A and B are shown apart, each in its own frame.
Chain A
């Protein structure tokens, strides 16, 4: 056992910390509270921030150098994510492109596709969204029906995607589409579609937070060049699954960093409003304890990555832990803050340090997206515990 960061990783962290100190001019939480900020201005701010990160050499960290990456490992990537949180930097705008499509193109795309799509993805000049879920296919993703029919050099795409994050303002979407109705997994292909294509319509959907960060995307005889197919016809499922697996870093570390800060803010707020009784302290302490345990999970994951281990079902444990914990945390926070915890960010009486009401609402999404808690438990039952399957 050795939980020290190596010299190399320490150096990486310290350089990054210094860089962030210089370059994060205003913490993200303050940007959000700026009364002059609008949805559009915040997007532009995040675009500018991503360009800065790119110029600083901090994007695509674990991608090969020839594709604008740094040839680093999942360890640096995990450190990077935790440090961004620590510095309260704006969230990366092209998150879905960088975390999912980039690796898909690097590992399964053609040379032309990489040359065409990776540079604007890194520079945030083309924003991507992920078109996997459909009205009839969420947890059971492989039952998706959006169809792509090959006609000469083009696919003709028909169907509907839904819950598409960033859909309302993205430029491109990567779609899982059915190219063979009879082959459940082998009949799915991975296709890149420009949202401006005739026949493609995006409609924003209002979320429980009141924001419209996701939307639905309709395809009606949308014509897409065959050259936008990633991999071969029928390889879409395989590509999607391997790409989702690359995503697995030590995310728990970044989350515990964030929750530590929010917990300190919560404790401070409780003191300020005079809630210091033993019932309050016990609730706070339980959150502190769970967060420390989550940090330990994160440290363990990071150490395993550094040790060359590829995470398997641990990724499901990590997702299950942080998402379920966050729900409890945000719920308890509002409970401890009293009715004031329900105030909207726009209200001048709201607490300045954290947007508690939005965090509470947002936490409800976390156990649904990226594999719901129930799906994660199914994965653990099957892969980690080898329990007999039904029927």
Chain B
């Protein structure tokens, strides 16, 4: 289980994660919005369609690709949340995007 250690009173923004409203400290990564709301599946694997989730958290592995405001292939660990952002698990695989 992921949790936040923050004790300051950060300014919150509202985002939607797979249709659920989530409040999250402004400036945090999109991945943290997923993880702290318990929705850790970021994308489906290319062939098997199995669930995948963030692995490196530093932009290397591309496991954390999600759809942000309708645009696929966004690395959740590198992007920051913004008020009103729509975040969704990427169900199209990168092979189907290529086609």
A and B pair up: no
